[in-house]
């Protein structure tokens, strides 16, 4: 087998993958954004993509070419091909389905999930909003009303909407999909789907994962209990009811902050802040769909239909990236949720746009890309929004007045006590899903699953969760199901990364050294290295959970003292620098099929277009 034959095989893999991946992702976007109702077409494209990445003949051929290349003397072309084919080998091994039964079951899962999604698109929970009006509500609207509405009966209506969604999920095929996923995992030699996903996505055993989760929950048990006790002491026992807890811990402060973090200005704040961090997108095309509407998928996500890479001629192929949020601009708290989504999904987009490798398999969101690795990028970016110096610099009302220091302190005073609870809320999901997939099919009744959900929430959180487990959309899609632990592992890595930059530079907000460092150490390698390797490359130490536990266990006074130091240091540094001239991206802001704004005339003009569009259609 010659070098030329291996080159031709490698180039064909790259081109064929891009075609099947883009076809699937384009239909994913149009159906999930409620632009198209071609659910059957999406299911076909999804099956074609799954068939490609799980084709045993492709794995066998990849191994054969690798074997032939490794027998040749080292050289630039030979070494590049070995590197690229090893990436393909890792992708195929992460998805390969050796048995015909496994492939058949995978097709059944895809079809069942497509049918569930099509039904879910027509179901809308209802609640009573801030104005006392009963309305259909998205998940984002339910969560925001639950946290900010001053009337208990209206908050309760949003919580009831979550619980109604849980029952709908159980009554419309989710448990049958769980059974199908387990049959699929067993056909591949795994005891259940949870262990299958954990080993494939994070290359981790359940014993290792739950040792980490048990250690984290043990370290934060006292802080979590102290928070709940304090809430009871200040507001009474009813304050820890799941429809009251978010309001009594954060709601009033969020309402006060709303004036300084309006939805209309969220796009400009994101653009300016990323510029000053020197985060760029290497010529990518970004499409952002930020507003709620009927039928649209009710959770933020970022996918890259065209993965970034260098092609066979060494030319740069910039990525195409879609990301979305579910904001309702005239709802209190929508601006805070919007800016969080822009930083979070924008962090994903920056990651995928900056993978500099020679095959598209290195720059995509599925295994062998670790979810913890992928989420570290997005969660690091959105973590900056909670910093006192970021709020002091960027949070301003319509007349340009900065957020008062007392309000920033109030934000710290409400957020810090909830850090343990919030991170334990992530841990609830893998504890629940592991138990769910371990149940016998005959025992997995709607009543038993709801009882398991409530017991898991009470055991880990000390109370029932304000966000009921079965209302979490990740559980319904096979790509995100049994993978939620990645968020907590990522949160641990985020705290470790933040600690490194604070040691090295002393600050995070508008730090121009952050973008280049993340690109070099975290983004450019893509999934060609492990999550632990990226951490070692930047921070000099392997993965550690202690930074997050330490953050969760800080007192309010300690957290405020740190915020004050950051604010004072930012003031001493003077006005923010101009940052990069642009994000180096072609950006389109859409609302379904409607184009709201774009960067054709520059990012500043795009932000003005967006602000005008929002102002003309929404007012409070």
User: For the chain, which residues score pLDDT lower than 70?
Assistant: 619-620
Number of C-beta neighbours around residue 361 at 10 A: 30
Interatomic CA distance for residues 308 and 354, integer angstroms: 7
- Which residues lie closer than 8 Å to 25 by C-beta, 6 or more apart? 303, 304, 305, 322
pLDDT of amino acid 165: 97
Give the pair of three-digit tokens for residue 568: 């004072």
Interatomic CA distance for residues 192 and 90, integer angstroms: 22
Q: Judge whether 303 and 352 are in contact, CB under 8 Å.
A: no
- Which one, of 361, 314, 368, lies nearest residue 17 by Cα? 361
Q: Judge whether 176 and 112 are in contact, CB under 8 Å.
A: yes
pLDDT of amino acid 619: 66
Q: Judge whether 160 and 146 are in contact, CB under 8 Å.
A: no
Element (DSSP H or E) covering residue 290: strand 284-291
Q: Is the peptide bond before 368 cis (omega within 30 degrees of 0)?
A: yes
User: Which residues lie across from 289 on neighbouring strands?
Assistant: 324, 590
- Which one, of 264, 217, 598, lies nearest residue 426 by Cα? 217
Query: DSSP assignment of 468-490, as one string?
Result: -GGG-GGGGSTTTTT-THHHHHH
Q: What angle do CA 395, 561, 220 make, to 5 degrees?
A: 100
Residue pLDDT, tens place only, 322-358: 999 888 888 888 888 889 999 999 999 999 999 999 9
- What strand order describes the sheet that includes 585-591? 301-306, 320-327, 284-291, 585-591, 594-598
Interatomic CA distance for residues 235 and 347, integer angstroms: 38
- Which one, of 239, 332, 319, lies nearest residue 620 by Cα? 332
Interatomic CA distance for residues 332 and 155, integer angstroms: 13
Number of C-beta neighbours around residue 237 at 10 A: 9
Give the pair of three-digit tokens for residue 612: 């005008």
Q: What are the start-end ranges of the H helices in 188-289? A: 193-201, 206-235, 245-246, 252-258, 266-276
Interatomic CA distance for residues 182 and 106, integer angstroms: 11
Helix and strand numbers, DSSP H then E, in the chain: 24, 9
Give the pair of three-digit tokens for residue 604: 């500043």
Pairing of strands 320-327, 284-291: parallel
Interatomic CA distance for residues 68 and 8, integer angstroms: 14
Interatomic CA distance for residues 34 and 386, integer angstroms: 32
Interatomic CA distance for residues 582 and 580, integer angstroms: 5
Pairing of strands 126-128, 320-327: unpaired
User: Which residues lie across from 302 on neighbouring strands?
Assistant: 323
With b for 16 or more beta-carbon neighbours within 10 A and e for fewer, the 558-590 pattern comes to ebbebbbebbeebeeeeebeebbeebebbbbbb
């Amino acid at each position: 087998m010659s070098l030329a034959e291996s080159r031709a095989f490698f180039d064909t893999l790259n081109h064929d993958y891009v075609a099947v991946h883009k076809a699937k992702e384009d239909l994913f976007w149009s159906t999930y954004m409620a632009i198209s109702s071609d659910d059957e077409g999406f299911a076909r494209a999804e099956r074609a993509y799954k068939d490609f990445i799980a084709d045993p003949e492709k794995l066998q051929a990849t191994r054969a070419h690798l074997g032939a290349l490794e027998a040749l003397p080292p050289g630039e072309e030979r070494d590049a091909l070995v590197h690229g084919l090893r990436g393909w080998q890792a992708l195929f091994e992460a998805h390969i389905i050796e048995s015909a039964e496994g492939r058949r079951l995978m097709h059944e899962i895809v079809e069942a999930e497509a049918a569930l999604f099509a039904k879910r698109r027509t179901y809308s929970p209802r609640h009573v909003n801030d104005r006392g009006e009963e309305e259909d509500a998205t998940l984002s609207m339910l969560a925001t009303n639950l946290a900010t509405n001053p009337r208990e009966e209206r908050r309760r209506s949003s919580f009831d909407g979550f619980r109604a969604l849980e029952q709908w999920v159980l009554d419309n095929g989710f448990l049958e999909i769980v059974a199908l996923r387990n049959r699929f995992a067993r056909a591949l030699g795994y005891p259940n789907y949870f262990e299958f996903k954990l080993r494939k996505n994070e290359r981790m055993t359940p014993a290792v994962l739950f040792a980490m989760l048990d250690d984290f929950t043990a370290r934060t048990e006292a802080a979590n209990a102290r928070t709940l006790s304090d809430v009871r002491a200040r507001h009474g026992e009813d304050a820890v009811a799941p429809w009251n807890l978010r309001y009594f811990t954060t709601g009033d402060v969020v309402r006060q902050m709303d004036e300084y973090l309006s939805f209309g200005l969220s796009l400009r704040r994101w653009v300016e802040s990323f510029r000053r961090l020197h985060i760029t997108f290497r010529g990518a095309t970004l499409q952002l769909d930020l507003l709620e509407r009927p039928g649209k998928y009710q959770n933020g996500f970022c996918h890259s239909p065209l993965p970034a890479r260098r092609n066979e001629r060494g030319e740069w192929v910039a990525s195409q990236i879609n990301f979305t949020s579910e904001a309702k601009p005239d709802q209190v708290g929508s601006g805070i949720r919007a800016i969080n989504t822009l930083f979070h999904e924008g962090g994903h987009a920056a990651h995928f746009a900056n993978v500099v490798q020679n095959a598209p398999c290195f720059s995509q969101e599925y295994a062998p890309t670790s979810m913890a690795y992928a989420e570290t990028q997005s969660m690091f970016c959105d973590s900056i929004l909670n910093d006192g110096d970021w709020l002091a610099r960027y949070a301003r009302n319509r007349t340009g007045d900065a957020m008062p220091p007392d309000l920033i302190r109030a934000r710290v005073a409400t957020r810090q006590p909830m850090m343990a609870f919030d991170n334990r809320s992530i841990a609830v999901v893998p504890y629940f899903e592991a138990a769910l997939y371990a149940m016998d099919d005959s025992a997995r009744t709607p009543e038993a699953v709801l009882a398991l959900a409530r017991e898991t929430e009470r055991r880990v959180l000390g109370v029932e969760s304000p966000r009921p487990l079965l209302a979490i959309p990740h559980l319904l899609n096979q790509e995100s199901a049994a993978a939620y632990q990645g968020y907590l592992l990522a949160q641990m890595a985020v705290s470790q990364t933040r600690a490194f930059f604070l040691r090295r530079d002393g600050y995070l907000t508008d730090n121009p050294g952050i973008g280049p460092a993340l690109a070099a150490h975290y983004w450019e390698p893509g999934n060609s290295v492990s999550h632990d390797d990226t951490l070692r490359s930047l921070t000099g130490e392997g993965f550690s959970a202690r930074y997050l536990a330490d953050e969760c266990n800080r007192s309010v006074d300690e957290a405020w003292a740190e915020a004050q130091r950051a604010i004072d240091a930012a003031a001493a540094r003077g006005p923010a620098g101009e940052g990069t001239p642009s994000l180096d991206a072609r950006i389109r802001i859409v609302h379904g099929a409607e184009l709201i704004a774009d960067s054709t005339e520059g990012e500043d003009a795009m932000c003005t277009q967006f602000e005008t569009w929002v102002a003309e259609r929404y007012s409070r």
